[in-house]
Structure 1
Amino acid sequence: MVMLTASVATVLGAGTGFPVAWAQAGAPQGSPPATGAGGEGGLEIQARSALLVDATTGQELFAQKADEPIPPASLAKIMTLDLVFHALEQGQITLDQEVPVSEAAWRLSVQAGLGGPSAMFLEVGERVRIEDLIRGVAIASGNDASTVLAEAVAGSEEAFVQRMNQHAAELGMKDSVFSNSHGLPGGEQHVTARDMARLALHVLKEHPGILKYTSMKYFEWKDFAAQPNYNRLLFRDPRVDGLKTGHLSEAGYHLVATAREGDRRLVSVVMGAASDALRVGESQRLLDYGFQQFTNTRVAFGENGRQVVPVFKGAQPQVTVQPAEDPVVTVPKTAAGEVRSRVELKEPLVAPLERGQRVGTLTIEDAGGRVLRQLPLVTADAVPRGGFFRVLWDSVRLLFRNLFG
């Protein structure tokens, strides 16, 4: 393994790619990163748990009891919508498809009519478009709509819950368990702020179209009065365009919010606040903190983001290597010019090599040596094995290289 270290000039920017969490870099939990290593201290959120994450880099900018298990309430519907959008993209269902309302879903609607949990007010036996059900979940937090969607995607609520927990495991939501598609009490279910942030980042990356629905301020359905979105941040901050609220008496008030300002997007999680007003206000404080105190910085790599390295026994003598994702990190605005990078490449590279094959790591650190992000370095093109004489000659070269260094 060859390691190259370089100080890097930086510019503001944003990347795309699924992130690596700041927590992996050793950021302290229960408080914002210390001054000089990722932020200003002293911020405290009035809720059972809270988390703030940059959606581009995945770095945690603030964490407060982020691994405390708490009943999800309607935050479970983020997972429901995630699986619905997976089914849409795989062609299992379509937006215009009409599906029947079961008695189980209708009973949830009846409960809402009697002053119970939120609903879309569906009638048993009626057929409803998938897209209308998505709106009913994303805006009005309809428990009846969640049940109908679960049955449409998996055949039954029980089968859908199995998918929810399987998908949670695949995403690395190691501290989360779901027992239904809507989050109402019943069975063992709990999530953490960190797991909900992980889910939100996945949804934003894989299904950005979900923001079309979570950003809608009102839900209009039949001749009912328009229902305002439970996410009150939409009405006070134009940067906010999702994702979901939740509330249970035993859990408190939750809000997973996302906001975009320029090229940056943040995800905040507030769980277990004492009131709706408090979850909104504390979520606003987190988002303001993230936008005001931090910036995203792109580090240089090679020439125009690429580097050419030699290859042994290949049809070509070299291959272009590049980061698998945009090399962007989130840092305090006061430390934007103080990041540095280390390049580690496997040595030697021997053909055949596949396109996109990992051949090294780009590590981005702050001035104090704290790892901010690590990105795979991958091949830009495939390199097939060379002919007989190329392989023979490079075998001799490798032999002398191993003998004499």
Structure 2
Amino acid sequence: MWSMARPLQKLGDVLQGRSGVNRSRSGVGTLNFAGEYSVKRRTKATEDRRKRSILSANARLEGESPRKCWDDISQVLFWVFLGLLVFSILVQSSRAFAAKSRGVRARAGQADQGHVAALKPITMFGNLPVPFHLGAVSALLMDATTGAILYAYGEHEPVQPASLAKLMTFYLVLEALQTGRTTLDSQVMISEKAWRLSMNAGVSRMFLREGQSVSIQDLLYGMMVSSGNDAAVALAEHVSGSSDGFTELMNEKAKELGLMESHFTNPDGLPSPGQYTTAHDMAILARAILSRYPEAVAYTGAKEFTFQKIRQPNFNSLLFHDARVDGLKTGHVRDAGYHLVATAHEGGMRLIAILLGAADGEKRRMESGKLLAWGFRTFTTVRFDWSKDIPEDLPVYGGDIRRLSIAPVAPPQVTILKGHERNLDISSAFPSKHLVAPIAKDATVGELMIRMNGNCLASIPIKTQTAAGPGSFFIRTIDRVKLAWWVLFNRMMDHIRSVWDRFWRWF
């Protein structure tokens, strides 16, 4: 009995060790065969549940795979589209920034032209110190009355004239009006060429229609106020028959006026190879217009012009900021910048200011206004009454008339600094106090001189106003005797004065 119990106990210990459950871990004193079986059943059930959960998860994954794939593709496409959108925005922004940078650099280059001007030699009236530098390619200030240049730099540098060419067109039309070749009421038939310019939105225009009849007066306003290129072509065709023929007249008149640094290729000034001008030439042309055609400022000084119910302001914005300004013309072309030929008057002085190649329209207005204001503040034009210093006529010997009228070729007037008027003096000099026939018209017989503190500022020739032919034989003989006695008498008087002076010096 005892011998059978020990093997059974050992078998139980073995079974207890295989089950992995002992007293200390399970908290159960002993494990029988029934407990071991129940543990195995629970373990198998747990394993089965785990397998079923894995299978169900796989099934769900297999069912959700197509939908998840499409979701992934949609997300990829969304991010690709978003990336392309951002990329295109960056490209456009970079292009805009580059263009803006180029514009800024171009404007900065033009704005720095004032610094470039500082390197150019500046001509000052009377060697005055330079008051300022201007932001333009070239500039000039002139006294329109005397022609004195008060301030200038780069005045001989050629540039595209742009609409400043219309000043020459303006001059030739005014000349045609003065000579009677046309009238302000004359009607001009608008050609197809002029009409096409009015349809070009890229240029200034008067809005003319083909076949329309427009008066010379309206065309002048349209050209000088609205800067109409169509009006310039219409006027050129009316005066000369064609634009090409009128252009030839422009260059001929330029040579006649002394514009040696200008050449025109069309009447409107649109950019063209071989077309150029300078500030110096524009000053000469402006002065010729103002001196020969004073009525010109009625067109150039108008602040606005209405044609066919279209109101257009004058491109010369200086008219709206300075009441002294009454002309003349603006111009602009991309390659050359902004131009202005301005004129203004104050009291008895009229100035002409030329500014070529400014950076923009506002810079053009401000710099031109600065130049004019300085001119009026610094200088004055003085006119003299020459009748007190020059006789109206001189006696003539041996001629068909007894006396010959004389006069200076130009009114005696000078430009000086304000406050120095009392230092001026005027005098005349004649080689002889009489004339001997024959004498031609416009013969120089004397000289009128204007001095300041002993220095000659201006010398004006005195010339005959008419001609004197030879008189009859009797008149010539009598006058020769008179002239001989007169010469002898003058010599005797000179000798007596000389002796008298020596006598008094001896004492």
Q: Normalising TM by the smaller chain, what interval?
A: 0.7 to 0.9
Contact persistence 1:34–1:40 (CA under 8 A): no
3-state SS, counterpart of residue 77 of structure 1? helix
Contact persistence 1:45–1:64 (CA under 8 A): no
Cα gap change, 1:399/1:213 in structure 2, threshold over 3 Å: closer, same or farther? same
Structure 2 residue 134 is the aligned partner of structure 1 residue 45? yes
- Give 2:448's aligned residue: 362
Structure 2 residue 31 is the aligned partner of structure 1 residue 31? no
- Give 1:236's aligned residue: 321
Structure 2 residue 226 is the aligned partner of structure 1 residue 140? yes
Q: Partners of 1:398 and 1:343 in 2: how far apart?
A: 26
Match of 1:120 among 193, 206, 212: 206
Give the root-mean-square deviation of aligned CA atoms.
2.7
Report which stretch shifted further, 235-244 or 46-55. Answer: 46-55
The one-letter amino acid paired with 2:313 is P
Contact persistence 2:450–2:459 (CA under 8 A): yes
Match of 1:275 among 341, 350, 360: 360
Report which stretch shifted further, 98-107 or 154-163. Answer: 98-107
The one-letter amino acid paired with 1:280 is R
Structure 2 residue 188 is the aligned partner of structure 1 residue 91? no
Once the 2 structures are TM-superposed, how far is the Cα of residue 392 of structure 1 from its aligned partner?
3.2
The one-letter amino acid paired with 1:103 is E
Q: Partners of 1:248 and 1:288 in 2: how far apart?
A: 26
Q: Partners of 2:308 and 2:402 in 1: how far apart?
A: 67
Q: Partners of 1:335 and 1:73 in 2: how far apart?
A: 40
Structure number with greater CO (CA < 8 Å, separation at least 6) is 1
- Give 1:4's aligned residue: none
Q: Partners of 1:132 and 1:107 in 2: how far apart?
A: 19
Structure 2 residue 168 is the aligned partner of structure 1 residue 79? yes
Structure 2 residue 348 is the aligned partner of structure 1 residue 259? no
Q: Partners of 1:253 and 1:320 in 2: how far apart?
A: 50
Q: Partners of 1:234 and 1:158 in 2: how far apart?
A: 33
- Give 1:18's aligned residue: none
Q: Partners of 1:259 and 1:326 in 2: how far apart?
A: 21
Cα gap change, 1:328/1:247 in structure 2, threshold over 3 Å: closer, same or farther? same
The one-letter amino acid paired with 1:293 is T
- Give 1:159's aligned residue: 245
The one-letter amino acid paired with 1:270 is L
Give CA deviations for 1:275-321 in whole Å, capped at 9, x if unaligned.
11111111111111111111122346463653554433234555443
TM-score using structure 2 length: 0.67
Cα gap change, 1:159/1:398 in structure 2, threshold over 3 Å: closer, same or farther? farther
Once the 2 structures are TM-superposed, how far is the Cα of residue 74 of structure 1 from its aligned partner?
0.4
Structure 2 residue 385 is the aligned partner of structure 1 residue 296? no
Give CA deviations for 1:355-394 in whole Å, capped at 9, x if unaligned.
554323324344473x543323122555443332342355
Cα gap change, 1:300/1:204 in structure 2, threshold over 3 Å: closer, same or farther? closer
Once the 2 structures are TM-superposed, how far is the Cα of residue 150 of structure 1 from its aligned partner?
0.5
Contact persistence 2:122–2:130 (CA under 8 A): no
Structure 2 residue 441 is the aligned partner of structure 1 residue 352? no
Provide the identity percentage. 43
Contact persistence 1:179–1:188 (CA under 8 A): yes
In structure 2, list runs of 5 or more residues that go unmatched.
1-119, 492-507
- Give 1:322's aligned residue: 407
Contact persistence 2:390–2:428 (CA under 8 A): no
Once the 2 structures are TM-superposed, how far is the Cα of residue 79 of structure 1 from its aligned partner?
0.5
- Give 2:308's aligned residue: 222
The one-letter amino acid paired with 2:418 is K
In structure 1, list runs of 5 or more residues that go unmatched.
1-27
Q: Which has the higher strand share?
A: 1
Contact persistence 1:174–1:195 (CA under 8 A): yes
Q: Partners of 2:242 and 2:405 in 1: how far apart?
A: 49
TM-score using structure 1 length: 0.83
3-state SS, counterpart of residue 92 of structure 1? coil
Match of 2:291 among 173, 185, 205: 205
Cα gap change, 1:32/1:300 in structure 2, threshold over 3 Å: closer, same or farther? same
Contact persistence 2:389–2:428 (CA under 8 A): no
Q: Report the count of equivalent residues.
A: 369
Cα gap change, 1:158/1:314 in structure 2, threshold over 3 Å: closer, same or farther? same
Contact persistence 2:138–2:154 (CA under 8 A): yes
Q: Partners of 1:136 and 1:259 in 2: how far apart?
A: 21
Once the 2 structures are TM-superposed, how far is the Cα of residue 120 of structure 1 from its aligned partner?
0.7
- Give 1:245's aligned residue: 330
Cα gap change, 1:30/1:227 in structure 2, threshold over 3 Å: closer, same or farther? same
Once the 2 structures are TM-superposed, how far is the Cα of residue 260 of structure 1 from its aligned partner?
1.2
Higher Rg of the two aligned structures: 2
Q: Partners of 2:210 and 2:359 in 1: how far apart?
A: 35
- Give 2:111's aligned residue: none
Give CA deviations for 1:35-92 in whole Å, capped at 9, x if unaligned.
5xxx553332221111111111111111112111111110000110111111112222
Cα gap change, 1:175/1:363 in structure 2, threshold over 3 Å: closer, same or farther? farther
Q: Partners of 2:457 and 2:149 in 1: how far apart?
A: 10
Once the 2 structures are TM-superposed, how far is the Cα of residue 395 of structure 1 from its aligned partner?
4.9
- Give 1:171's aligned residue: 257
Once the 2 structures are TM-superposed, how far is the Cα of residue 344 of structure 1 from its aligned partner?
4.8
